Structure 1
């Protein structure tokens, strides 16, 4: 089974509600979706989610990088997965989401070639994982209301987006949410890199002081402030998770965070690691240093979510998942792949990703 060509297209999926980020609001998921066509006629599906403020990639740059890489991997055997990935890394630096799209499609094809669902191909023996759900920044009343609704809809783990206002408002938000939900719920905080190390330490210590029982705090400081991240981790009792600070342009870039035990947990995302192959490298380093991992995602369709869930189900050191973005879409154009039952993501036993069709896919010539 050899790579014959890569067809590039896109799907646009409207969101149920605005997805607020520190720099912009997103109302539609605009995703680059590829099809790797083989000489046997088999198709591998992959996707890339543009995230300029995280990976530095736009839709156009992703398309350009995929077309560039195609020139070097066309004709290569799918069974030579290691060689194909090595070739990608050799011919172009960075561009992690573009590489992730190709990587995901290759793993989809590998599963199909060996007639195994991807989670089993990666070594897993269970076909489901549990995800948390994100409570986006809003008024205090709406965040408390949305948290209660999430609990009633079966979610036991809530990730609260903070860092959009003052210290006092962040504490008010957490207190209001804590009052509105069951005691059994676990609250996680995503600081989105909004605080300085001193500010992060202050707010986390306050949470500890008033007994909010926070599960962990994700990316409290700027992605580049590795020293600040370690300062926060060493100054509080609450667990600290690194997200944007851990990139996978090469596994060496993640190594500096891991080797210094800068965090307690790491958030792995296929879009920032360059796909499953590099994510596994980072995972293995973290496991060696006894750092737990969470499987996360960008605003991605079911293609990327199915791939990420497959890896999450295959790794014992993966303590949790944050793969809920499918829930904010108005529709699901992907036929096959993962299904959702409340907070449970379930994979089928079809080979590869188990995806049959992508409705509304528009080829980009």
Structure 2
């Protein structure tokens, strides 16, 4: 089997409301659908979500790097020779989301070729993941109303609160209102998206002590090396690296320097192959991991479930899997369902993200 053609199809689907957080705001999912075609008629697919304010990649740059740089070098290779594929992509620095999508599409292709679900090829630990829902920048009472609704409708009992606002009192109030309204049995953790300084983060932790928060993700820019190391040393809860750790090398740097003591894995930026390397680093060092969300579509969320459910360590915490509920539509032919606060893997060959071709034709940009 040989790679015959690679497509990078830009498309845009609006969100039902703007999603706001410390590092930016999005109103539309302007993503790229990656398709790898083979000479045997099989097609591997994956979604690439550009996040220019985080990684510098745009929809145009992802299309360009895949079609003009990667594809000419990958056409003709056997998709099972993943080491050769990654050697080709490694010649180009950065572009993590583009590389991740190509990798997931390859795994999808291999699963289809072997007539095996990819989650079993990756490890097959279990068949579903608990769901964590992200709460964005809104007044405290609106955040509580949303959390209560998602708990009632979907059975979700874990919530990630987007913080990083100034004044700090906005986020501190939200923490107290959510805890009082949700009770002690609901898990709450924070993500500041580099919105604070390390010293501000320490003040927030002081003023939310006793609320049972379970983690603080990316409180400040990792370049604040000394202050962040002090924050990690003093924090009573894990400080999770996210934007600062897109690659396995970055994970090693942050863990060894003391800049983080937990790691967020996002398949959208690492694919399944590098995500496996990152997970191995973390489990070897006894470091907790979370499965993050890059404001993923259902296609991307299914990839996260596929990897997360494959390993014991990635199922200990709820995965961030529900952002697709904020989208007006999706490309997935068979929509994802959240039942009892969980999302199941697809027990079909590949990842199971079959695309609705009519919807792709409707939303594609070219």
Identify whether the pair has TM-score above 0.5, normalized to the shorter chain: yes
Check conservation: 2:120, 2:310, Cα contact below 8 A.
yes
CA distance in 2, matches of 1:163, 1:84: 39
Specify the alignment match of 1:7 in structure 2. Answer: 7
Runs of 4+ in 1 over 4 A off after TM superposition: 362-365
Task: Tell me by how many angstroms 1:195 deviates.
Answer: 1.3
> C-alpha distance in 1, partners of 2:279/2:72?
30
Aligned to 1:341: 339
2:287 maps to which residue? 291
Does the aligned pair in 1 maintain the 2:22–2:192 contact within 8 Å? no
Give the drift of 1:229: 2.7
- Is residue 260 from structure 1 mapped to residue 261 from structure 2 by the alignment? no
Equivalences for residues 142-157 of structure 1 within 5 A: 142-153=142-153, 154-157=155-158
- Give me the whole-angstrom Cα distance separating, in 1, the residues matched to 2:294 and 2:15: 14
C-alpha distance in 1 between matches for 2:80 and 2:277: 19
**2: distance between equivalents of 1:337 and 1:108?**
18
Asked whether the equivalents of residues 160 and 190 of structure 1 are also in contact (C-alpha less than 8 Å), the reply is: yes
Alignment of 1:327 with 2:358, yes or no, is no
Match in the other structure for 1:229: 228
Name the count of aligned residue pairs.
Answer: 359
Partners of 1:133 and 1:143 lie apart in 2 by 11
Deviations 1:150-172 (A, max 9, x none): 22231110111112221222221
1:269 corresponds to which residue?
Answer: 266
In the aligned structure 2, how far is the partner of 1:24 from the partner of 1:295? 21
Compute the TM-score of the two structures, normalised by the length of structure 2.
0.93
Q: Report what 1:66 is aligned to.
A: 66
Change (3 A) 1:16 1:364: closer
- Paired residue secondary structure (2:309): helix
Post-superposition shift, 1:35? 1.2
Tell me the equivalent position of 1:280.
276
Aligned to 1:186: 187
Residues 1:150 and 1:165: Cα distance change in structure 2 (over 3 Å): farther
Equivalences for residues 14-163 of structure 1 within 5 A: 14-22=14-22, 24-67=24-67, 68-90=69-91, 92-153=92-153, 154-163=155-164
Gaps of 5+ in 1: none
Q: CA RMSD in A?
A: 1.8
Report the equivalent of 2:304.
308
In structure 2, the partner of 1:247 is: 246
Comparing 185-194 with 22-31, which one deviates more in the overlay?
22-31
Q: Relative to structure 1, is the Cα distance of residues 144 and 338 closer, same or farther in structure 2, using a 3 angstrom cutoff?
A: closer
Structure 2: where are the runs of 5+ without partners? none
> What is the distance in 2 between the residues matched to 1:35 and 1:338?
21
Q: For residues 129 and 100 of structure 1, do their structure 2 counterparts lie closer, same or farther at Cα, with a shift above 3 Å needed?
A: same
User: 1:89–1:258: structure 2 CA closer, same or farther, 3 Å change rule?
Assistant: same
Q: CA deviation at 1:144?
A: 2.2
**Structure 1 counterpart of 2:208:** 207
Tell me how far 1:343 sits from its aligned partner: 2.3
Q: Is the 8 Å Cα contact of residues 219 and 240 (structure 1) preserved in structure 2? A: yes
Going from structure 1 to structure 2, the CA distance change for 1:97 and 1:190 (only over 3 Å counts) comes to: same
